[in-house]
Structure 1
Amino acid sequence: MGAFHVTRKEAHMSCEHATAAGGQTAPQEFEENNLSEVKRVIAVLSGKGGVGKSLVTGSLAVELARAGHKVGILDADITGPSIPKMFGMSGRHAMGLGNLLLPEISDHGVKVMSSNLLLKNETDPVLWRGPVIAGAIRQFWSETSWGPLDYLLVDMPPGTADVALTVFQSLPVDGIVIVTSPQDLVSMIVAKAVNMAEKMNIPVLGIVENMAYVECPDCGKKIEVFGPSKLDAVAEQYGLEILGRLPIDPALAAACDAGAIEDELPAGLLPDALAKVAGLPEHVEPTGSDDASA
């Protein structure tokens, strides 16, 4: 495949980035993508790791694809990617043509670009510093031929640090879905994500709680393993719409590990989130050039 590169410009931490990190919104000058026609870009964000953000990203992608939409996933979790394995792409590699990247396509048509698809061995660590990671994410957007997509889902890295800032400054994100879990720190974590979205002037579509409960196999009772959920109070506090509560599902976790999420995902898992995302207006103009749509 073509060389994977990060230019000096991409690796440079600009004063604009530093200003935004200090509390003021930096000017948003989105990277051009003349290789694609992406109608909507949705970022899936969590304030911390281990809450199942990638599961929500993958579930939304599968549900949208089942509904007949053309879907892609930009895996921005560069150092901890899990999307390729979830979609049965272990051992596969993204192709390239010169400096152009071509996303890998799942068995059911979901396009994926991820750092794991560029490594010789998927278990190799990605030992890149922040500016290099930021440059890679820009390439996943601006130098990848996504083609026509109804939705591009961005699986964000955990937290609200520099990489998240890079995504929101480089990609025309239409909305953010926040993923959390029923723990004591949920209010503070959600607050960080909401504050970042406000500073970047990107609407928060709503919040999904993962690992909300486990269903008793005998009586069907929902058992809140981590204690009573605080989701209602947090959603009211920040004016967020609740888009779903996902259970702890060992069978689904095993399916993800086996690369079978497209075949094994239960139907109707996130109906409210699906409806919210599907209701977003398309970009007034496609992100690609006229040549790309010819």
Structure 2
Amino acid sequence: MSSTPTTEQVNAALANVQDPEIRRPITDLDMVKSVEIADGGVVNVGIYLTVAGCPMKGRIEKDVTEAVSKVDGVTRVAVELDVMSDEQRKALQTKLRGGQAEKEIPFAKPNSLTKVFAVASGKGGVGKSSVTVNLAAAMAAQGHKVGVVDADIYGHSVPRMLGVDAHPTKVEDMIMPPSAHDIKVISVGMFTQGNQPVVWRGPMLHRALQQFLGDVYWGDLDVLLMDLPPGTGDIAISVAQLLPNAEILVVTTPQQAAAEVAERAGAISAQTHQRVAGVIENMSYYIAPGSDERTYLFGEGGGQTVADGLTRSLGAQVPMLGQVPLDMRMREGGDEGKPLVLTDPDAEASAVLTKVADDLVGKPRGLSGMQLGITPAGR
């Protein structure tokens, strides 16, 4: 004969249920409203949702039911959903921010352990977003906690390329980002209707980026990747102001014309005093199916040209991190929301991107290569 379950046992089971968006146990988030145990092993559980229209309420109800059902002596679980009051949401907001009620950008704090990489290019069409999402997917697959900010306000494409179809959830003035492939993602495309264009000028772009960094609850990330728009415009300047510790990843193609423009995008670090983490050459060559011969459709040497030029102009070594071959499956994966590094990790392009991801995450932090803006004093 099974024993009667206790409240302590039920609460212990509920501690294993995580909020799908915040990724913390619902017991830690004060989401458990009540636990009542009736005769015959029937357990009634009251759960607070953060907002009335929580898109994950079905998932939460299912997870709670499954967890409590495993407790010895439980014969049936009834879940009753309620909604947090304004006071409860504000308390949750303060708890998530570590007791700090005021807004701040956690990645800009001196003690932040999150590595931030701003993925830049001189011009569009070089595959910067494809590189960003595949690097993020590779890092997440390696077990790292990863976030992506689609900072390409006008040309946002990251949600589609990662297969994100959910919308962010708002808790007071905090935004819970949706996830895909264990990657948290935020993009202006999640706040626009259909395929509406975004027509903003400098101050609005800065404010949008500030909200993505300060209002979004990212949790404890190991890596934050930012997909920047091409060139050296407002967003690149705002990133330097809001996240001076962000390192720049320059993406180019082998074509010399593209390389010249890409070098200008990296050279902005001389003025912003940011570190250039390295150069990634995309679409380096093409290998036809059934062949081992490389065809250099866009020429050769552009990536190395950018790395060498930045090394000279910045006075610090800028490495060539990798040459990513042209692979039609990468384009197909972007359209389907399935990064190539996950669908075909043995592909040559996947191997290169996975190695770059590993090198970036495993790279020790330090001041090496950072422009400090110091000039010798005259004697």
- Over 3 Å counting, the alpha-carbon distance change for 1:263 and 1:270 in structure 2 is closer
The one-letter code matched in structure 1 to 2:122 is G
Query: 5 Å matches for 1:15-164?
Result: 32-33=104-105, 39-90=114-165, 92-106=166-180, 108-121=181-194, 123-164=195-236
Q: Distance in 1 between matches of 2:216 and 2:338?
A: 25
SS at match of 1:268: helix
The superposition leaves residues 232-276 of structure 1 with CA deviations (integer Å, 9 ceiling, x where unpaired) of 333223322111111111112111101111642534232442233
The one-letter code matched in structure 1 to 2:362 is G
Say if 1:39 and 1:282, in contact at 8 Å, map to a contact too. no
- Over 3 Å counting, the alpha-carbon distance change for 1:172 and 1:280 in structure 2 is farther
- Counterpart in 1 of 2:359? 276
Say if 2:136 and 2:183, in contact at 8 Å, map to a contact too. yes
Say if 1:75 and 1:115, in contact at 8 Å, map to a contact too. yes
Q: Distance in 2 between matches of 1:87 and 1:197?
A: 29
Q: Distance in 1 between matches of 2:338 and 2:234?
A: 32
SS at match of 1:132: helix
Report 1 or 2 for greater relative contact order, CA contacts < 8 Å, sequence distance ≥ 6: 1
- In the TM superposition, what is the alpha-carbon distance from 1:140 to its structure 2 partner? 0.1
The one-letter code matched in structure 1 to 2:147 is G
The one-letter code matched in structure 2 to 1:46 is S
Which blocks of at least 5 consecutive residues in structure 1 are unaligned?
2-30, 284-294
Say if 2:285 and 2:297, in contact at 8 Å, map to a contact too. yes
- In the TM superposition, what is the alpha-carbon distance from 1:163 to its structure 2 partner? 1.3
- Over 3 Å counting, the alpha-carbon distance change for 1:186 and 1:34 in structure 2 is closer
Aligned mate of 2:338, from 260, 267, 286: 260
- Over 3 Å counting, the alpha-carbon distance change for 1:39 and 1:168 in structure 2 is same
Aligned length: 252
- Counterpart in 2 of 1:168? 240
Which blocks of at least 5 consecutive residues in structure 2 are unaligned?
1-50, 52-102, 312-317, 367-379
Say if 1:58 and 1:86, in contact at 8 Å, map to a contact too. yes
- Over 3 Å counting, the alpha-carbon distance change for 1:243 and 1:185 in structure 2 is same
The one-letter code matched in structure 1 to 2:329 is A
The one-letter code matched in structure 1 to 2:303 is L
Q: Distance in 2 between matches of 1:96 and 1:281?
A: 35
- In the TM superposition, what is the alpha-carbon distance from 1:197 to its structure 2 partner? 1.0
- Over 3 Å counting, the alpha-carbon distance change for 1:166 and 1:259 in structure 2 is same
- Counterpart in 1 of 2:90? none
The superposition leaves residues 5-44 of structure 1 with CA deviations (integer Å, 9 ceiling, x where unpaired) of xxxxxxxxxxxxxxxxxxxxxxxxxx82259966111111
- Over 3 Å counting, the alpha-carbon distance change for 1:187 and 1:226 in structure 2 is closer
- Counterpart in 2 of 1:18? none
Q: Distance in 1 between matches of 2:155 and 2:328?
A: 21
Say if 1:42 and 1:173, in contact at 8 Å, map to a contact too. no
- Over 3 Å counting, the alpha-carbon distance change for 1:256 and 1:95 in structure 2 is same
- Counterpart in 2 of 1:237? 309
Say if 1:252 and 1:264, in contact at 8 Å, map to a contact too. no
Say if 1:46 and 1:159, in contact at 8 Å, map to a contact too. yes
The answer to whether residue 183 in structure 2 is matched with residue 183 in structure 1 is no
Q: Distance in 2 between matches of 1:44 and 1:82?
A: 14
The one-letter code matched in structure 2 to 1:93 is H
Q: Distance in 1 between matches of 2:113 and 2:147?
A: 9
The superposition leaves residues 157-193 of structure 1 with CA deviations (integer Å, 9 ceiling, x where unpaired) of 1111111100111124331110001223234213312
Say if 1:75 and 1:112, in contact at 8 Å, map to a contact too. yes
Q: Distance in 1 between matches of 2:319 and 2:106?
A: 34
- Counterpart in 1 of 2:290? 218
SS at match of 1:148: coil
* TM-score normalised by structure 2 residue count: 0.62
* TM-score normalised by structure 1 residue count: 0.79
Say if 2:254 and 2:302, in contact at 8 Å, map to a contact too. yes
Say if 2:205 and 2:234, in contact at 8 Å, map to a contact too. no
- Percent identity over the alignment is 36
